[in-house]
């Protein structure tokens, strides 16, 4: 398994700390990995390592910089501050793609994300990012800045049907928003699966520790399959 | 590639003609393949052969027997006659599983279907069939006999979001029907993909020849992934 390296980067004056893991050979693509609202955790780091094992460079983004949270409440507050200014948030997210482009110049880019990271990759798609694919896992679907231009990347959304943060009304609104700009989306919905289904390490006692081995396995396979297709 | 063999069977007094293809080794499972309303076509036969290549026995069902249609209009009429009596239709569908059980005794069973065949496999699930998995590809989701008992098989539905036969209202009603009996479904919806996305051989000039290579590829991969999981 490849080692993960700390990478310092920044969004304007805000210092950020990313985590990079490279495959053994030439990377098939460079994947920006946007973590949950908790910022990087062992669960997300493991996904980045799995990408490297599959031949991809993976770069785990830092949402918050020096404000990086250490528990549920501070993470929630940090997320609220980040989301309060949607344009500033997009600038923050683009900084990760820029840094990844410096680290892997000329390599096609992809972005995946979990929870807040799922929201992040959809925001990048709406923002016109030059990505081959974005994949959201139990991500939030709503946006204060609906897509108003063609979206380049293919879109994969892997969604727990009973996600307590994403009711079916959000799903329907997302489809309508994406259809209005002719986006090319695949939407996978899993019955009786809640928010956070990809993380086997969710601490007991936190809200909705909803790991679902089948949804985790099948959604990851869907990502691998679409990556093969968009990079063929 | 394995050879396909004609298999005579029956539903009561109605003679039926199935088509069987076996893998080279011991089958991982026995898969009933329910074709489109056109009954067996080269497109569906190719899916059966792909299953055999992947290690599965595949048995293509006959919906109609002596009334088997030869063109769009006669197929449509035959389908209407079949669907006119939902209980008789279920008896017809069960005959295929029974015959498959005789051909591959003791082997776990799965059912997949396309178009009318997608409707068929969901009808079997609703009817209490002892299957490990059912998978519907651009199948019809409505039923005159909604599920009223627990459903054993895992359910995979691969759906073109703009299927002209399956509007979003049917999707929502299906989810609600399945949730009422706590079914374990994965629902994949593909943007701007129409009915019939799995068949590259759809004759030009027929209604909605909507082959979509990406949806075909990804939905088949989803089937392979879930088969691995339910048979592990």
Read off the pLDDT of residues A103-123 as tens digits, 9 standing for 90 and up.
999 999 999 999 999 999 999
Question: Contacts from B71-78 at CB under 8 Å and sequence distance 24+?
Answer: B72/B38, B72/B206, B72/B207, B75/B37, B75/B38, B75/B39, B76/B37, B78/B37, B78/B39
Cβ–Cβ gap B222/A226 under 8 Å: no
pLDDT tens digits along B78-135: 999 999 999 999 999 999 999 999 999 999 999 999 999 999 999 999 999 999 999 9
Q: Which of A168, A178, A214 sits opposite B191 (nearest CB)?
A: A178
Instruction: Say if residue A3's pLDDT is above 70.
Output: yes
**What 3 state SS string does B42-56 have?**
HHHHHHHHHHHHCCC
The pLDDT score that the predictor gives to residue A177 is: 98
Average pLDDT of chain B to the nearest whole number: 95
Residues in chain B closer than 8 A to A218 (CB atoms): 186, 222, 225-226, 229
Q: Cα separation of A20 and B86, whole Å?
A: 57
Q: What are the start-end ranges of the E strands in B138-200? A: 154-160, 185-190
Q: Which residue of B has its CA nearest to A174?
A: B191
Q: Cα separation of A202 and A41, whole Å?
A: 10
Averaged over A213-232, what is the pLDDT? 97
The pLDDT score that the predictor gives to residue A204 is: 57
Measured CA angle at B73 (ends B71, B77), to 5 deg: 115
CA distances from B193 to A22, B166, B216 (A): 36, 12, 10
Reported confidence tier of residue A199, pLDDT bands at 50, 70, 90: confident
Asked whether B29 and B107 are in contact (CB, 8 A), the reply is yes
**What interface predicted TM-score (ipTM) does this complex get?**
0.94
Tell how strand A14-21 and strand A57-60 pair up.
Answer: antiparallel
Residues in chain B closer than 8 A to A225 (CB atoms): 217-218, 221-222
Reported confidence tier of residue A189, pLDDT bands at 50, 70, 90: very high
Q: Cα separation of B168 and A12, whole Å?
A: 44
- Of A142, A95, A139, A86, the C-alpha closest to A114 is A139
CB of B186 within 8 Å of a chain A CB? The answer is: yes
CA distances from B80 to A123, B37, B123, B140 (A): 47, 10, 16, 13
DSSP B99-132: HHHHHSTT--EEEEEETHHHHHHHHHHHTT---S
How distant is the Cα of B215 from the closest Cα of chain A, in angstroms?
A: 9
Average pLDDT of chain A to the nearest whole number: 94
Residues in chain B closer than 8 A to A133 (CB atoms): none
How many CB atoms sit inside 10 A of residue B67's CB? 14
Averaged over A201-230, what is the pLDDT? 85
Residues in chain B closer than 8 A to A222 (CB atoms): 218, 221-222, 225
Q: Cα separation of A68 and A26, whole Å?
A: 32
Residues in chain A closer than 8 A to B190 (CB atoms): 185-187
User: With pLDDT > 90 as the criterion, what percentage of chain B qualifies?
Assistant: 90
Reported confidence tier of residue B206, pLDDT bands at 50, 70, 90: low
Asked whether A48 and A57 are in contact (CB, 8 A), the reply is no
Could you say which residues from 126 to 155 on chain B have a Cβ atom under 8 Å away from some Cβ of chain A?
155
Cβ–Cβ gap B175/A191 under 8 Å: yes
Cβ–Cβ gap B221/A225 under 8 Å: yes
The pLDDT score that the predictor gives to residue B199 is: 86
The pLDDT score that the predictor gives to residue B70 is: 84
**Residues in contact with A169: Cβ distance below 8 Å, sequence separation at least 6, in sequence order:** none
How distant is the Cα of A12 from the closest Cα of chain B, in angstroms?
A: 37
The pLDDT score that the predictor gives to residue B209 is: 57
The pLDDT score that the predictor gives to residue B68 is: 84
Averaged over A203-226, what is the pLDDT? 84
Q: Cα separation of A222 and A34, whole Å?
A: 18
pLDDT tens digits along B3-39: 899 999 999 999 999 999 999 999 999 999 999 999 9
Q: Give the residue with greater pLDDT, A22 vs B210.
A: A22
Residues in chain A closer than 8 A to B176 (CB atoms): none
pLDDT tens digits along B145-188: 999 999 999 999 999 999 999 999 999 999 999 999 999 999 99
Q: Which residue of B has its CA nearest to A213?
A: B229
Q: Which of A188, A191, A221 sits opposite B178 (nearest CB)?
A: A191
User: With pLDDT > 90 as the criterion, what percentage of chain A qualifies?
Assistant: 90
CB of A94 within 8 Å of a chain B CB? The answer is: no
Residues in chain A closer than 8 A to B155 (CB atoms): 191
Judged on CB neighbours under 10 Å (0-12, 13-18, 19+), A205 is exposed
Instruction: Say if residue B44's pLDDT is above 90.
Output: yes
């Amino acid at each position: 398994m490849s080692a993960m390296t700390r990478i310092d980067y920044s969004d304007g004056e805000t210092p950020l700390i990313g985590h990079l893991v490279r495959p053994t050979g030439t990377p098939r693509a460079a994947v920006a990995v946007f973590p949950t609202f908790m910022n990087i955790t062992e669960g997300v780091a493991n996904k980045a390592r799995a990408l490297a094992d599959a031949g991809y460079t993976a770069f785990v983004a830092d949402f918050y910089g020096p404000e990086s949270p250490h528990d549920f409440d501070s993470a929630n507050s940090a997320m609220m501050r980040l989301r309060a200014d949607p344009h500033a948030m997009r600038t923050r997210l683009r900084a990760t793609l820029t840094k990844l482009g410096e680290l892997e110049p000329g390599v096609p880019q992809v972005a995946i994300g979990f929870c807040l990271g799922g929201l992040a990759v959809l925001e990048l798609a709406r923002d016109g990012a030059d990505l081959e694919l974005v994949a959201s896992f139990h991500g939030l679907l709503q946006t204060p800045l609906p897509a108003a231009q063609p979206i380049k990347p293919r879109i994969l959304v892997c969604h727990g049907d009973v996600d307590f943060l994403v009711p079916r009304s959000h799903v329907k609104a997302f489809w309508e928003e994406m259809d209005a700009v002719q986006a090319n989306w695949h939407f996978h919905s899993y019955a009786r699966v809640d928010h956070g289904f990809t993380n086997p390490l969710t601490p007991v006692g936190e809200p909705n520790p909803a790991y679902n081995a089948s949804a985790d396995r099948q959604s990851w396979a869907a990502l691998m399959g679409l990556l093969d297709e968009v990079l063929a």
